[in-house]
Structure formats: C-alpha cells, structure tokens
Amino acid sequence: MGAILFDLDGTIMDSLSSIIHIVRLALRDVGRDNIEDNQIRALVGMPLVQIGEELLGKQRHEKFVSAYHFHYCSSQIKVEPFVGMQEYLAELKNYGIKTAIVTAKKSPSTISTLTENGLIDYFDCLITADSGVGAKPQAGPALAALSKLATSSSNALFVGDSIYDIGCAKNADMAACGVLWGACSKQELVEAGSDYTVEDVNQLRQLSKEFFAKK
C-alpha cells in the first residue's frame, strides 16, 4: 500500500499567521522589528535555527530561538486543522494509506499540536526536527519516513506548502504536491519542482485517489 508524507504547519494546520506573529515577537525581543512579513513567510518550513540565522546571522540566532520558544510556550494561540483535513485523514486511514508527518518542528510541540486537535492517531510515524535525520530540503527526513513506513519513494506522495517541502520530496526522488493555502504561491511551488498543486482539501482528496489508482 502507498503512503503520503505531510508537512504540518501551513499544510495540515492553519498556523502560518500564528508562526509569523511569534517570529515577530521574538524579533522584537532581539531588537529587529523592521523585517517584513513576506521575508518571514519565505522562510517558514525551515528549522527555527536556520530561520534565525537567515534573519539575524549566525552570531545572534540563539537569542532569537530562545525568545521564539518563550513566546510559543506562553502564548494562548490555538491553531486548528484546515477545513476538511481531519475527514480527509480519516479517509486515508480507512483506505489503508500509510501516513507520516515530516516537519521542522520538534517532537514535543508536534505531538502536542496533533494531540490537542485529535489528529495524532491518523499518523503512522512522525519525523521532526530532533529526529536526527537532517532537515528539509535535504532528502533525509523523507527517506526516514519512507523507511519507517516500509514504502518505496515511487509509491509515495509528499504534500507540503513550502519550497523546502518540495525540495525534500525531489531530493528523495518522490512525487510532490504543493498546497496553495500555505506559505508559497503556485509559481514558487512549481518552480521548486512540484508535480501537482491543489487549491483545497477536496482537490487533494481527488489527487490522492488518482495518484494511487495508477500504482
């Protein structure tokens, strides 16, 4: 049976605006509140340390990371899955499609987010920033997920909203689907190598059926 690897933030969870908000709070704490939202948006999907390095340089990123974790843990922001996502994940489970999360978040926050939203049981494995398999767009996270799922790259689809997700899929020799409700535009996702793009969860559902029907 086939498998689908999912990014978390901006793909399953409607969390992009919350991430940008918390990044802004962290930047303010380190004296950099003049960075535009589009600059932050372009980095969503990278590990937090790399985001800090891109925005502040390697000498200042540690304070940013600490500030981000402080605001993330102390905020009362609640994120929810995109409309129709939970039903779609339930369908995949019923069909026997294996699923994994491949995210730049660390394991505790990933598990917390999925558990609080009743999604944890829909996934067969979680590959997180602290799994020790590298970071997107490297192939390592996708290959680790495929190994745990005992699935070949030719029988799997990677679904994500950023160029880092698409890059990870392509480096792992996987088909990639870019969702248009997250961080990147259709043009950005296509230029990154996305094989498919979808505008809503219903289109993703139809694509999944068609993709595995050909296998």
Q: Where are the beta strands (DSSP E) in 50-155?
A: 98-102, 125-127
The CATH code of domain 16-74 reads 1.10.150
What is the model's pLDDT at position 47? 82
C-alpha separations of 185 from 41, 192, 197 in Å: 11, 11, 10
Q: pTM score > 0.75 for this model? A: yes
**CATH numeric code, 3-14+80-213:** 3.40.50.1000
Distance CA 119, CA 140 (A): 24
- pLDDT tens over the chain, length 215 residues: 799 999 999 999 998 888 888 889 989 998 888 888 888 888 887 888 888 888 888 877 888 889 888 888 787 778 899 999 999 999 999 999 999 999 999 999 899 999 999 999 999 999 999 999 999 999 999 999 999 999 999 999 999 999 999 999 999 999 999 999 998 999 999 999 999 999 999 999 999 999 999 86
Query: Which helix (DSSP H) or strand (DSSP E) does residue 106 occupy?
Result: none
The H-or-E segment that residue 45 falls in is none
List beta partners, residue 5: 100, 158
What is the per-residue pLDDT for 33?
82
How confident is the model at residue 151, as a pLDDT?
Answer: 97
CATH 3.40.50.1000 residue ranges of the chain are 3-14+80-213
What integer pLDDT is reported at residue 138 of this predicted model?
Answer: 97
Write out the residue limits of the CATH 1.10.150 domain(s) in the chain.
16-74
Q: How far is CA 11 from CA 8, 94, 106, 109, 133, in A?
A: 5, 21, 16, 16, 21
